[in-house]
């Protein structure tokens, strides 16, 4: 008999990075606030957490990240101006982001890596399983990856990571997992993890994409994890410890994602995300698609 596991309600979103790939846009604006069509990238990520049932969101931020807090807070002045004008459509857009979730913030202080950012969430998370969503990875709202991951945690316990097959020449950009099949087509058991291996050293072409459902045992492991790749404390290394020693906090499983994902931390992929999501929008899509079609045939 499997033990019933408590529902996961907390999401942690590390958002302390500098966003140097988007300079000068990110000189004084957090990279998470860059718009994807007309919504900041980070709002898609919070909406994804909420649609997986996680309504308690902790952002791990750093210096110059105050616009994130403002975005998820009320803006009474703007709301009043729009109300006076009777512009209900825009008013609801302004109110939407402040009503999404219960937001909490903690600052990372020293940028000592993703594992360290997650460790900053320990006092807030306590002794519960929780999800981590990386802001650079945008998962298409129609592909419910996180919901699937929480189901796998309910079934198997331990921790669950999101994996995606990538071209071997790109594996050095990701954490990489060696994994064995399970009875379920989209679920694998993870046996080994390496952070950003070269293509010769990579144990597979399964890349970790930025979604994790973690057992709280990961905090103790992170406290003992030495700095790894890039001199930073890596979540991949802590998960490797858990995968090698399941008695510490259960097994590590992977959900192999075959849906739509955009890396908004990469300029090319960021542009592709905007074009794709704009084409699919009911309000903007029809005109934009017509324009795009003629642009491609006439200009390229
Ligand atoms: C981080 C993780 C890496 C993971 C990636 C997914 O790397 O360390 O294991 O594959 O996110 O986006 P970063 O891209 O922050 O360097």
CATH value at residue 40: 3.90.550.10
My answer on whether 227 and 271 are in the same domain is no
Residue 146 CA to ligand 1 center (angstroms) comes to 17
Enter the pTM of the model: 0.95
Best substitution site from 17, 20, 114 to test ligand 1's pocket, by max atoms within 8 Å of Cβ?
114
Lowest mean pLDDT among 73-77, 187-191, 264-268, 285-289: 264-268
My answer on whether 44 and 146 are in the same domain is yes
**Is 116 contained in some domain?**
yes
| Ligand 1 pocket, residues with Cβ under 6 angstroms | 114, 134, 136-137, 174-175, 195, 207-210, 234, 236
My answer on whether 136 and 77 are in the same domain is yes
My answer on whether 253 and 270 are in the same domain is no
Q: What token pair was written down for 109?
A: 């202080």
The closest residue, in CA terms, to atom 13 on ligand 1 is: 174
The closest residue, in CA terms, to atom 11 on ligand 1 is: 210
Number of folded domains that form the chain? 2
My answer on whether 200 and 299 are in the same domain is no
Each residue of 218-240: pLDDT tens digit? 999 999 999 999 999 999 999 99
My answer on whether 288 and 240 are in the same domain is no
Residue for token pair 């140097």: 20
Q: Residue 79: which H helix or E strand, with range? A: helix 76-85
Residue 174 CA to ligand 1 center (angstroms) comes to 5
pLDDT band at residue 4 under the 50/70/90 scheme: low
Residue 72 CA to ligand 1 center (angstroms) comes to 25
My answer on whether 280 and 254 are in the same domain is no
Best substitution site from 133, 172, 174, 195 to test ligand 1's pocket, by max atoms within 8 Å of Cβ?
174
**Alpha carbon distance 249, 243 (integer Å):** 9
Write down how long the chain is: 300
Contact predicate 229/208, CB 8 Å:
no
My answer on whether 38 and 76 are in the same domain is yes
Fill in the DSSP letter of residue 120: T
The closest residue, in CA terms, to atom 9 on ligand 1 is: 175
Contact predicate 6/129, CB 8 Å:
yes
Q: How confident is the model at residue 216, as a pLDDT?
A: 97
Best substitution site from 14, 134, 269 to test ligand 1's pocket, by max atoms within 8 Å of Cβ?
134
Buried residues in 171-188 as b, exposed as e (16+ CB within 10 A): bbebbbbbbeeeeeeebb
Among residues 68, 65, 46, which one has the least CA distance to residue 57?
Answer: 46
My answer on whether 289 and 172 are in the same domain is no
Q: Give me the domain span that covers residue 293.
A: 266-300
pLDDT band at residue 298 under the 50/70/90 scheme: confident
**Is 4 contained in some domain?**
no
Q: Kindly list the distances between the CA atom of residue 110 and the CA atoms of 21, 85, 256, in Å, as whole numbers in the listed order.
A: 20, 45, 33
Fill in the DSSP letter of residue 30: -
End-to-end CA distance of the chain: 61
Each residue of 60-115: pLDDT tens digit? 999 889 999 999 999 999 999 999 999 999 999 999 999 999 999 999 998 899 99
Neighbours of 257 (CB within 10 A): 20
Best substitution site from 136, 231, 232, 270 to test ligand 1's pocket, by max atoms within 8 Å of Cβ?
136
Contact predicate 270/153, CB 8 Å:
no
- SS3 (DSSP) at 46: helix
**Alpha carbon distance 162, 131 (integer Å):** 11
**Is 76 contained in some domain?**
yes
My answer on whether 69 and 89 are in the same domain is yes
């Amino acid at each position: 008999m499997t033990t019933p596991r408590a529902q996961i309600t907390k999401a942690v979103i590390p958002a302390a990075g500098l966003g140097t790939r988007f300079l000068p846009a990110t000189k004084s604006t957090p990279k998470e606030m860059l718009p994807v069509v007309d919504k900041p990238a980070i709002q898609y990520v919070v909406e994804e957490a909420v649609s997986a049932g996680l309504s308690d969101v902790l952002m791990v931020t750093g210096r110059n990240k105050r616009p994130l807090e403002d975005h998820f807070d009320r803006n009474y002045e703007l709301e009043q101006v729009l109300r006076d004008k009777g512009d209900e459509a825009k008013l609801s857009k302004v109110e939407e982001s402040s009503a999404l979730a219960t937001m909490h913030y903690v600052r990372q202080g020293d940028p000592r890596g993703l594992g360290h950012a997650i460790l900053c969430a320990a006092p807030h998370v306590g002794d519960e399983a929780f999800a981590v969503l990386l802001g650079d990875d945008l998962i298409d709202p129609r592909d419910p990856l996180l919901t699937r991951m929480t189901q796998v945690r309910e079934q198997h316990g331990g921790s669950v990571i999101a994996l995606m097959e990538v071209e071997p020449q790109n594996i050095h950009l990701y954490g990489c997992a060696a994994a064995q099949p399970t009875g379920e087509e989209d679920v694998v058991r993870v046996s080994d993890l390496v952070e950003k291996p070269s293509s010769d050293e990579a144990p597979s072409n399964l890349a970790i994409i930025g979604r994790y459902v973690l057992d709280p045992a990961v905090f103790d492991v992170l406290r003992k994890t030495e700095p790894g790749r890039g001199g930073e404390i890596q979540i991949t290394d802590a998960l490797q410890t858990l995968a090698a020693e399941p008695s510490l906090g259960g097994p590590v499983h992977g959900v192999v994602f075959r849906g739509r994902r955009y890396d908004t931390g990469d300029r090319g992929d960021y542009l592709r995300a905007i074009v794709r999501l704009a084409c699919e929008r009911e309000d903007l899509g029809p005109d934009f698609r017509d324009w795009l079609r003629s642009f491609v045939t006439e200009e390229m």
